[in-house]
Structures are given as C-alpha cells and as structure tokens.
Amino acid sequence: MEWAISGSIGLLAAVIAIFQWRTQHQTMVLSLFERRSQLFDEFAQLYARYHTDEASLLLRDLGPLRVRFRYLFGEPVTGVLTEFDVLLKQKAMLEMRARQCVQVVEIDEGVANVNAIYGIPDKFTKACEPYMKMDQRLARTVPEFIDDWWNRRL
C-alpha cells in the first residue's frame, strides 16, 4: 500500500514538473517574441525617417540596431539590414556629391538607389516573418518529445 502512495506522489511530482517546464518554455518564447516585435517596430520607425533625415543620420542609428538584430533574428534578416546599410551609404555619397557640387550626380544612379531602398520593407518583412509567428509558443507534448528522442536515437 505504501508503494502505491509513494508511486502516485512521484507521478504527481513528475506531472507538475512537466507543466512547469511547459509554462516556463511558453513564457520564454513569448518574451522572445515581444523583444523581436519591439526591435521590428524600431526598424519601422527608422525606415519611416528615410524621407526626412539625411542618410548619415540613419546610418548612425542603423549600426547599433543591426547588432541587436543579429542576436534576435537569423542571417536572412541581418542580410537585408546589410543591404539597407549599403544603400544608405550610397545615398549618403550621392547627398554629399550633390551638396558639394563637385561631381554631377547621375539621375539614373539616384533613382536606382531610391527604388532599391523602397524595396527594403518588403524584403525585411519577408525575412522576419518566420521569426514573428506565435505558433512557436507551442511546446511539444511528452509523447512528441519521446517520439523525437526515439527517432534521433535510431
């Protein structure tokens, strides 16, 4: 009789531990989603300043933002930010040449730069999409975990 009570207490403790682990996992993933969402909004605010600020100011703010994106998002998102950085540097050079009137700025070069920059939000959104889905919150059930472990073992 004592073994039945001990066994049921042990089983109850295991069930509670599993539920606590799942709750903690869901909390962690939700926190990660919130941090990514905040960073995504910061980039949207930075991009919204494209028409009002000079490229050099945007480049100054993009540097630290790229570092934070590197740790919360994958390589595709960082690649889009690198592309945006290169385009902003080109825009800064065009602005500098136009201000100094040292060299005539080619209209085609400026238009190509602007068109490429206008395409960044779509590329950025597509790159971020896999990281921004809330279906990542679902933790595997115990049978799914055991099945995955068993398949890896074989």
In which residue are the tokens 């960082």 written? 78
Q: What is the pTM of this model?
A: 0.68
**So where are the chain's domains?**
33-135
Neighbours of 4 (CB within 10 A): 8
What is the amino acid identity at position 37?
Answer: S
> Each residue's pLDDT tens digit in the chain (154 positions)?
788 888 888 888 888 888 888 888 888 888 888 998 999 999 999 888 887 777 778 888 888 888 888 888 888 888 998 998 888 888 888 777 777 765 555 666 667 777 788 888 888 888 888 887 766 545 566 777 788 778 876 6
What is the amino acid identity at position 40?
Answer: F
